[in-house]
Amino acid sequence: MQILLIWFLYLPFTGLSPEAKENRFSPAADSTFVLYESCKLRDVISFSVFQKTMEGIKTYKPQKSIVTIIDFTLPSSQKRFFVIDLQAKKLLLSTWVAHGKKSGIEMALSFSNKLKSNQSSPGFYKVGLPLQSPKHGLALELFGLEKGINHNAQKREIIIHGAKYVSEDFIKQYGRCGRSFGCPALPIEVMPKAVQLLSNGSLLYIHVFKNADKKAQNVDNNPLNLASQNSEMAFPFFDFLYHSAFLPHI
């Protein structure tokens, strides 16, 4: 009887890969899943995307408990910009977000870290201070944290900003959001809340289809041209000066 019971308990995992079996019994995986369930994200974000986000939390050690996930595996006609308070275990914001015009039409399929590519860049970012863009108004600056993937975000003037082409009315008319020059653009009316929640130290993760981030590697990826990145999301004095500048933005 005991042998049959052991076999019955083991049977569901016999078809799993070694990595999946290890993760199934991993305390870290279990605690992440408990947090995922506590935040009530089951019908909002896939667990694998949330798990990847939590890996970024451990790596980059953000200053705030707020984390933003952009899921570019979803079409722009769906809400795919999610703001979560990990400490309060609560989804704070869910809205539409645009991708770069050369990343795709309704789906974001192509990505780049290159200047003037007009494509989105995947990966992890730290969110800086609010700024006033002459073109877009209230905005948030982004710092790309992954070399070769999104480290050119500042040079490309990639920011979170509001846009008229990201709205429910636009989607009803055209079946999708409009597209940016590479910025994650939000509905204009959402920007004040986004600034309040995200500014000065939160982490942003842009999720894309598997291996798409590797294709975003800059072909001019010369180590001499790579900005050095701190593993912690610190904001040095020069960051503050840069954030305070009123620059034209895409």
Lowest mean pLDDT across 8-12, 34-38, 162-166, 169-173 = 8-12
**14-41 average pLDDT score:** 69
Between CA 158 and CA 155 the distance in angstroms is: 8
- Supply the pLDDT for residue 14: 47
Residue 218 has pLDDT above 50, yes or no: no
User: Between 27-38 and 47-60, two packed helices, what is the crossing angle to 10 degrees?
Assistant: 110
Domains of the chain, residue spans: 61-220+232-244
Query: pLDDT averaged over the chain?
Result: 83
Between CA 202 and CA 127 the distance in angstroms is: 5
Question: What kind of architecture, by CATH, is found in domain 61-220+232-244?
Answer: Beta Barrel (2.40)
Residue 125 has pLDDT above 90, yes or no: yes
Sheet of strand 203-207, all strands in order from the earlier edge strand to the far edge: 90-95, 81-85, 66-71, 203-207, 123-133, 137-144, 159-163, 185-187
